[in-house]
Amino acid sequence: MKKFLIAGNWKMNKTIAEAKEFAEAIKAKDLPNAKDVCILAPFTALSELGKALEGSGIGFGAQNVHFEQSGAFTGEVSVPMLKELGVGYCAVGHSERREYFAETDKTVNLKLKVLLEAGITPILCVGESLEVREQGSEQTFVAGQVVEDFEGIPAAEAAKVVIAYEPIWAIGTGKTATPEQAEDMCAFIRGVISGIYDNATGDSMLILYGGSMKASNAKELLEKPDINGGLIGGASLKVDDFASIATDAASL
Ligand code: PGA
């Protein structure tokens, strides 16, 4: 049976009160696959969200972390701080962080290493811009990201990373990749991982699709053999939509 992870990425949305309200409503949905579902929330909501989700099976995580353990990095949050909150997941290298906050493959690589060391599952985001896709260079571009991001990470650790393929042109635009485009790139990424490591590592890796995934198109994407779930932004803010996507995954 194919493994799934349905991850909500709230981005800079939801106060503590709103996060708690969402947690109560999603718990009431009694998702059959709650253990395959997680929510990436703003730092400020993580503590209360974690408490509210306790016992539900639904995981929670951060959207970013610094690669140093502590120090003079004003405004940043470290792995020990996340660990203390009991987070299970942390997004790394989201295209919005790469574009607006100068995230590079070098810092992504350092972040993956410190998260893996702490036992927090990284959700590594990769994906090309529209310009790169129009040039037909999307595979070269994404392979380059994957190779640099996994530099120096041994196979046993690499296997714990979740990769999210998020074409930038599909994020928040309502323009979803076709199931074929998403499947092609997820299969390609799996091949890149198999090439760096071995087939067992590539085969077992969870590779998600992200970019305008919503209740109306999730099933056709999730049905594809190399797509192990979704990283869902806009549609994760509404309980009914997010629960519908999770339920689709549970039915496959
Ligand atoms: P979207 O965002 O679902 O709103 O397109 C996805 C993401 O950026 O993770």
Cβ contacts of residue 248 below 8 Å, gap of 6+? 215, 218, 219, 222
pLDDT at residue 131, rounded to an integer = 94
Which run of H or E residues covers position 207?
Answer: strand 206-210
- pLDDT of the chain along its 252 residues, tens only? 899 999 999 999 999 999 999 999 999 999 999 999 999 999 999 999 999 999 999 999 999 999 999 999 999 999 999 999 999 999 999 999 999 999 999 999 999 999 999 999 999 999 999 999 999 999 999 999 999 999 999 999 999 999 999 999 999 888 889 999 999 999 999 999 999 999 999 999 999 999 999 999 999 999 999 999 999 999 999 999 999 999 999 999
Which tokens in the block code for residue 185?
Answer: 């790139």
pLDDT tens-digit readout, 167-225: 999 998 888 899 999 999 999 999 999 999 999 999 999 999 999 999 999 999 999 99
Terminal C-alpha separation, the chain: 9
Find out whether the beta carbon of 221 lies less than 6 Å from any atom of ligand 1. Answer: no
**Global pTM?**
0.97
Find out whether the beta carbon of 125 lies less than 6 Å from any atom of ligand 1. Answer: no
Active site residues: 94, 166
Which tokens in the block code for residue 39?
Answer: 């929510």
Which tokens in the block code for residue 226?
Answer: 């190399």
Find out whether the beta carbon of 166 lies less than 6 Å from any atom of ligand 1. Answer: yes
User: Distance between CA atoms of 102 and 69, rounded to whole angstroms?
Assistant: 20
Nearest CA to ligand 1 atom 9: 233
67-68-74 Cα angle (round to 5): 100
pLDDT at residue 176, rounded to an integer = 86
Q: How far is the CA of 189 from the centre of ligand 1 (A)?
A: 19
Whether 249 contacts 229, CB under 8 Å: yes
Classify residue 55 as exposed, middle or buried by CB count within 10 Å of its CB (0-12, 13-18, 19+): exposed
pLDDT at residue 204, rounded to an integer = 96
Phi, then psi, of 211 in degrees rounded to 5: 135, 95
Whether 37 contacts 244, CB under 8 Å: no
